[in-house]
Amino acid sequence: MSNNVAVTVRVHLSSLGCRLNEAELEQWAGDFLRLGDTVESQAENADVLVLNTCAVTREAVRKSRQRIQRLQRANPEAKVVVSGCYSTLEKPAQLAELGVDLVVPNTSKDKLVPLTRQTFAQPTMPEGATAPAEFALFQRNRHRAFIKIQDGCRYRCTFCIVTVARGSERSRSVVDICNEVRELHQQGIQEIVLTGVHVGGYGSDIKSDLQTLVEALLENTEIPRIRFASVEPWDLSPEFFTLFANPRIMPHMHLPLQSGSDTVLRRMARRCKTADFTVICQQLREAVPEFNVTTDIIVGFPGETADEWQESLAYLQSLPEFGHIHIFTYSEREGTKAATLPNPVASNIRRQRSRELHEIAAKQRKSAQALQLNQVVAVLWERGQPENGQIRHWGYTPNYMKVTTLSDVDLTNQILDTRLTAVSDEGLLGEVVK
């Protein structure tokens, strides 16, 4: 190919599943744009369709297959590239039957852009400066960005297929992460979320740790707000809690407990007992009184007896109010140890327990929101839509409680002092302090 011919790709990017998949999608979008390619918001306009798949549950597998088929129906002429946990675990022959043209396993995700361009790029005449001045967040608002800091996990919880799909732990360098955050902040990003498969294990392979990374971000960037994605409770040291003295570190953590019964936690091969979890929550709320702890609970894990279920409910209700409980009704996942455990819980009992916990979780969420009333907090306003001559905006408090307000002016991507006035079905209501 002659030197005066550029190679470009029109690519459509989409994902299913976790925030880590979202972070990877944003990285790919930036890489494609830097090389002069175009990122298309509609699948119909692209030459290549890239899907970051998920396999955390059987339902996620079904949705991944369904999304591949939907993309192909939207654009039968385009090439299909898949990555992510589903495509890594699935047999190549079955992916071929779905019409997938290129599979990029999780271990090669950092090479997805060059592999895609090498395989499918078309020669075109260049148009002046093909590299954009900035890589806008792919199809996202201009306020928050997910930052992939590591991949893989060293632990083997019996219900988890992700550790099989993602492999061993691999951390990005502190310098690389700081550079990305600075670049995003220059583009107007106000908040970052540090994400990975095992966020608390960051640095295990490069002689670093999560606290060191956060301290570097505080020193070497001016990003106003830093959050964490899901962090395993056992990864938090007492020294880590001192980070929250800095107002740029948002007082919210998602700490997956998975069960309120220690015997169930043992079958899950979890490394945190309920007593440990209680201490962690207390320490976080000592650091910041309004600290918001959210969590995951799996309902109907194999062998979960009626007594264990009641024990779990009692424990969850004994803690200060959770801002949110993400409830998973257990489903067998082939390839995990849990799928081979005896005494599975009947499906109707799983559903019944899920409904029971949803009721408790809704009450706790309302109680947690009510504790915030009449406070003035800094809200990052995200988006707006017209409503009766005004603009209805949504945003989040530092401790990650959703707030809505009506405004005469556009508040998007502004961090503004807001008085929390009431609790509604959508979350908190607020009034911007003039």
Q: Is 94 helix (H, G, I), strand (E, B) or coil?
A: helix
Q: Which amino acid is at 167?
A: G
Q: Which pLDDT score is estimated for 111?
A: 93
In angstroms, rounded to a whole number, what is the distance separating the alpha carbons of residues 197 and 204? 13
Can you read off the two tokens belonging to residue 17?
Answer: 């599943």
In angstroms, rounded to a whole number, what is the distance separating the alpha carbons of residues 147 and 145? 6
Query: 94: exposed, middle or buried (C-beta count within 10 Å: 0-12, 13-18, 19+)?
Result: exposed
Sequence ranges of the domains in the chain:
6-124, 144-370, 376-432
Q: Helices (DSSP H) in 149-205: which residue ranges? A: 162-166, 174-186
Pick the CATH number of 6-124 from 3.40.50.2300, 3.90.650.10, 3.40.50.300, 2.170.150.70: 3.40.50.2300
Task: Return the number of other C-beta atoms located less than 10 Å from residue 298's C-beta.
Answer: 24
Please say whether the beta carbons of 404 and 424 come within 8 A: yes
Q: Is 267 helix (H, G, I), strand (E, B) or coil?
A: helix
Q: Which pLDDT score is estimated for 142?
A: 63
In angstroms, rounded to a whole number, what is the distance separating the alpha carbons of residues 83 and 86? 8
Q: Which pLDDT score is estimated for 294?
A: 96
DSSP string, 270-318: -S--HHHHHHHHHHHHHH-TT-EEEEEEEES-TT--HHHHHHHHHHHHH
Can you read off the two tokens belonging to residue 380?
Answer: 């990052």
Angle between helix 19-34 and helix 112-120 axes, rounded to 10 deg: 50
Q: Which pLDDT score is estimated for 7?
A: 66
Q: Is 31 helix (H, G, I), strand (E, B) or coil?
A: helix
Counting every residue written for the chain, the total comes to 434
Q: Is 211 helix (H, G, I), strand (E, B) or coil?
A: helix
Pick the CATH number of 144-370 from 3.30.360.10, 3.80.30.20, 3.40.50.1460, 2.30.110.10: 3.80.30.20
Predicted TM-score of the model (pTM): 0.85
- Degrees, nearest 5: CA angle 170-24-31: 105
User: pLDDT (tens digit, 0 to 9) for every residue of the chain, 434 residues total?
Assistant: 334 445 678 999 999 988 898 899 989 998 998 888 999 989 999 999 999 999 888 888 999 999 999 999 999 999 999 999 998 898 888 888 888 999 999 989 999 999 999 888 754 433 322 233 333 444 445 688 999 999 999 999 999 988 888 888 999 999 999 999 999 999 899 999 999 999 999 999 999 999 999 999 999 999 999 999 999 999 999 999 999 999 999 999 999 999 999 999 999 999 999 999 999 999 999 999 999 999 999 999 999 999 999 999 999 999 878 999 999 999 998 889 999 999 999 999 999 999 999 999 999 999 999 999 999 999 999 888 999 999 999 999 999 999 999 999 999 999 999 999 999 988 999 999 97
Query: 164: exposed, middle or buried (C-beta count within 10 Å: 0-12, 13-18, 19+)?
Result: middle
Q: Which pLDDT score is estimated for 151?
A: 94
Radius of gyration of the chain measured on its C-alpha atoms: 23
Q: Which pLDDT score is estimated for 411?
A: 95
